[in-house]
Structure 1
Amino acid sequence: MTALEHAAAEHPIVVGGVSLGAHVAVSWAVRNPDRCAGLVLALPAWNGSPDGAPAALAARASAQVVAAHGIDAALAGTSGWLHDELRRAWHGYGELLVPHLAEAAESVAPTLAELRSLDVPAGIVGCVDDPVHPVEVARAWADALPRAVLVETTLDAYPHALGRAVQAWRRAQGR
């Protein structure tokens, strides 16, 4: 039993995530609509197939650079909170980072039709200046989810994105 299945065993739960984590949360909700009480989502990366999606291309390129030159080389173009967060997270994967990045680059995201099937409150955050997670994807997800509230922000304000997604989810509860 997965952690989500265990948590939802007694009553429906709110699930969420960032980027690929948002994809995982929605995919679980599609398979378990009766166990999902809502969605808290930040920076969804694509719909359906990853073909050509900037986040999929970035994950693939990152995997190649990490495999050839290491994490520090892959993070050379980042700074500030993003650098710190990726450095912390990527080191936590250890030897599994490259295969996880490669898997992420190939994973199929929920389709807009699947999103339309979820009648639960959903809070979504998109960053208007994020080239890897285009805000248009967040807008498409918000348009497809019947009870979604979208909040748009910038990468500078991103460290507060999940809090903003929770606030949006609370507003969506009234829809």
Structure 2
Amino acid sequence: MTDTAVLLPGTGSDDVFIRSVFTVPLTAAGVTLVAPEPVPGPDLGHRHRLSLDAAFDAHGPVLAGGISFGAHLAAEWACAHPSRCAGLLLALPAWHGSPVDCPASVAARHSASLVQRDGLDATLASAAADVPTWLADELSRAWRRHGSGLVDSLLAAADRPAPTLGQLAALDIPVGIAAVRDDPLHPASVAAQWAAAIPGAELRSLSFADFGADRSALGRAAVEAWQASAANAKAGPPSR
């Protein structure tokens, strides 16, 4: 089992949030977390994939994954380079294939247009009125870190296709998927579709209230699912 995990942030998010979600559960599993900083702009996805390539060059096959857009990118990389990926930790996948009018994609495009029209401060103030305080604080920190590249970062994530269910079905590695049951932007039904498509994948879910009370609860769900998937793969198919 790999001892290095490279995990990527979601749309407009950052490595700080990744660490808040995954550091504790990965440490408990004996895995070292690498959380690359986002490089804001239209090449956001490409730069994140380069960080996965660099980790493979340094460590050999790694456990890859992320949250939302980061989960999409990690799965995309695993599908393209199966020998480089030892497993996947996928939290809150938002769509498969083309984003079309998926809620998270629509929300990212809407946020980008508001930042362009009204500016960052006004957009954050509006967003804060509709989300819990902890999430408003996360958005404020991460979006300000993206700076002038925020709009391009949001659009890069919103418009990028995720792997199709057919591509996911070709994966042959341990995969843990975590869903938040009542997250409207990342429907639990999408996570269930990913889990059903990937052979041997395990799915765990939690409530948004649990996630809000303890960010690491999401990471713990993904890690536990991955460990179960790895254990099942090691045990092999049941005897008949």
Structure 1: state its 5+ residue gaps. none
1:170 to 221, 227, 236: 227
Structure 2: state its 5+ residue gaps. 1-48, 233-240
- 1:6 equivalent to 2:54? Answer yes
The count of aligned residue pairs is 175
- 1:100 equivalent to 2:130? Answer no
Moved more, 66-75 or 28-37: 66-75
Distance 1:156 1:72, change over 3 A: farther
Moved more, 75-84 or 118-127: 75-84
- Give a deviation string over 1:58-99, Cα, whole Å, max 9, x none: 000011111112334332322222112121111110000011
Letter in 2 for 1:45: A
Q: Give me the whole-angstrom Cα distance separating, in 1, the residues matched to 2:136 and 2:109.
A: 18
2:39 counterpart residue number: none
Is residue 41–residue 162 contact of structure 1 (8 Å, CA) maintained in 2? Answer: no
Letter in 1 for 2:222: A
1:89 to 142, 150, 155: 142
- Give a deviation string over 1:145-175, Cα, whole Å, max 9, x none: 1121101111222212122201211111012
Q: Give me the whole-angstrom Cα distance separating, in 2, the residues matched to 1:14 and 1:53.
A: 27
Q: Rg larger in 1 or in 2? A: 2
Following TM superposition, where does structure 1 have runs of at least 4 consecutive aligned residues deviating by more than 3 angstroms? Answer: none
Is residue 39–residue 123 contact of structure 1 (8 Å, CA) maintained in 2? Answer: yes
Is residue 178–residue 218 contact of structure 2 (8 Å, CA) maintained in 1? Answer: yes
Q: CA RMSD in A?
A: 1.4
- 1:30 equivalent to 2:30? Answer no
- Give a deviation string over 1:37-73, Cα, whole Å, max 9, x none: 0000110000100101000000000111111123343
| Equivalent residue runs for 1:72-151 within 5 Å | 72-74=121-123, 75-76=127-128, 77-151=130-204
C-alpha displacement at 1:11, in angstroms?
A: 2.0
Identity rate, percent: 46
- Give a deviation string over 1:2-60, Cα, whole Å, max 9, x none: 22112112421100000000000000101110111000011000010010100000000
